Structure 1
């Protein structure tokens, strides 16, 4: 609505069917979070990123709506979508990869119409999967005294 993605309220994201709050075990697909990618519900880390980018989309959509009051919901949504995608690409290309590789990305030198924009099979088979090995065995959070506490990994 008005270019934003739906949220139940400021603390929750939409569900196909809201679960009883104390139920935190494997749920049927109708009770999983609806965030555009079925993998969102695999683990708390992916869910956190999905929520972060859903909220960023809505912030951007509100800004776009203020600047372009005559635009349709779809135009606002698509502009916000492009900004969110560009934000993620910027984080990966100019923050994550340089920190991980200890090497800066070369400066952009212009669009090349003859460069294929897709991902090679070699990258898909090897380098793309390499990221999975970087995932820690568990997630940690802090308690009220800022001490680390292991999370319940029986998620969702």
Structure 2
């Protein structure tokens, strides 16, 4: 029974199917991981420094799509580990392909990103950062970085417990 619950919980944490990795060339995949601060260790991309705990899952490009409408792809890279990311168990990094074909890290955080229809500067979507609890931070792009904009739960304003 516990195994089924654990499997269901891990599936619920995945924001998008892992098949998205195949939509980038091998060179772009490697460049995206490097821009996100990941290093290749054997056949795994790693960033968080987990010493090998059972909860660890290496970096995976979960989705590739144009998030800000500039015609170039962004990649959402996830990595799992309670050692590195606490009870949330997952961290994410968003990297963007630039006009000169290089990749740039846009943001990284612990939690589960959900892209919202509301937007910040340059057409970047607001990101609800999910995790344990019932009041999640929403970050908005200010033209230079993602910053806290509000808290919400199921689309309604809330106040996080202190």
Range of TM-score over shorter length: under 0.3
Provide TM-score, normalisation by structure 1. 0.27
The structure having more radius of gyration, on CA atoms, is 1
Higher relative contact order (CA 8 A, sep 6+): 1
Provide TM-score, normalisation by structure 2. 0.27
Counting strand residues as a fraction of each chain, which structure ranks higher?
Answer: 2
Counting helix residues as a fraction of each chain, which structure ranks higher?
Answer: 1
